[in-house]
Amino acid sequence: MCGRFTLTTPAVELERRFLVDLQDRHVPRYNVAPGQEVLAVVEAGGKRQPTRLRWGFVPSWAKDAKPGPINARAETAATRPMFRQALRRRRCLILADGFYEWMQRERGRQPVLFRLRDGAPFALAGLYERWDGPGGPLWTCCVLTTRPNALVAQVHDRMPVILRPGWEAAWLDPQVPPEQLAPAWEPYPATAMVAYPVSTRVNSPRYDDPACVAPVAPPLPLPEAGGGDERA
């Protein structure tokens, strides 16, 4: 599962990394929560376009705009009526530079922040959809998840699909069928990531500031080399 994430990278770096023009509309986010808007990249007319999507997937046929699933399992999305068409035609990049998961401790749940070892931003594999209501169109999204790598497995049994840069163009291209994208949702290499406990203030979406990402304990130990999730 992926229920919170961060996007603190400056706009100019995001523009360079994802080949989009944000027009200074990005502000750092330290605790993005379901129901909030996320920064995403979609393909329109063969070009990349930045957009804002509400996190919580609402299919076009839904009776109301009540926020739906925030995640979809990559392995089964193609067979789920809710996600099937979006997986085929409406894939997006959800921009992030970290995500949170919670580990169970004696004194309660402890949030852990996962990031890339080099601190770079990355694209989460997303699906998006349009819902038409009395107030006009509503665009929503969800994050695909996959089995965890050895680092994330210490905390949770699922992790978000982090796309390798070489897969991003194919993920956006609606001409690429989903069956050709299965390698894209292999778990991101554990050795390319770091994880450390952070403040429990992350538990509340009211808090969205640098204190959310500050370490409060040493990093989680790295898994031993040689695991099956170490493919680049």
Spatial separation of the C-alpha atoms in residues 132 and 170, rounded to whole Å = 28
pLDDT by residue for the chain (232 residues), tens only, comes to 789 999 999 999 999 999 999 986 789 999 999 999 999 999 998 899 999 999 999 999 998 888 899 999 999 999 999 999 999 999 999 999 999 999 988 888 999 999 999 999 999 999 999 999 888 899 999 999 999 999 999 999 999 999 999 999 999 999 999 999 999 999 999 999 999 999 999 999 999 999 999 999 999 998 775 444 543 3
For residues 57 and 68, is the Cβ–Cβ distance under 8 A? yes
186 flagged as catalytic: no
Cα end-to-end span (Å), the chain: 22
What architecture (CATH level 2) is domain 4-213? Alpha-Beta Complex (3.90)
Region class of 2: left (phi > 0), else alpha (psi between -120 and 50), else beta: beta
- Residue 134's pLDDT is what? 85
Rounded to whole angstroms, the maximal C-alpha distance in the chain is 54
One of 43, 101, 168, 186 is an active-site residue; which one?
101
- Residue 164's pLDDT is what? 98
- Residue 230's pLDDT is what? 46
- Residue 232's pLDDT is what? 36
- Residue 225's pLDDT is what? 58
For residues 143 and 70, is the Cβ–Cβ distance under 8 A? yes
Its pTM stands at 0.94
One of 2, 92, 141, 142 is an active-site residue; which one?
2
HSE toward the beta carbon, residue 181, CA cutoff 13 A: 29
List % helix, strand, coil for the chain (3-state, nearest 5).
Answer: 20, 35, 45
Sequence ranges of the domains in the chain: 4-213
- Residue 226's pLDDT is what? 47
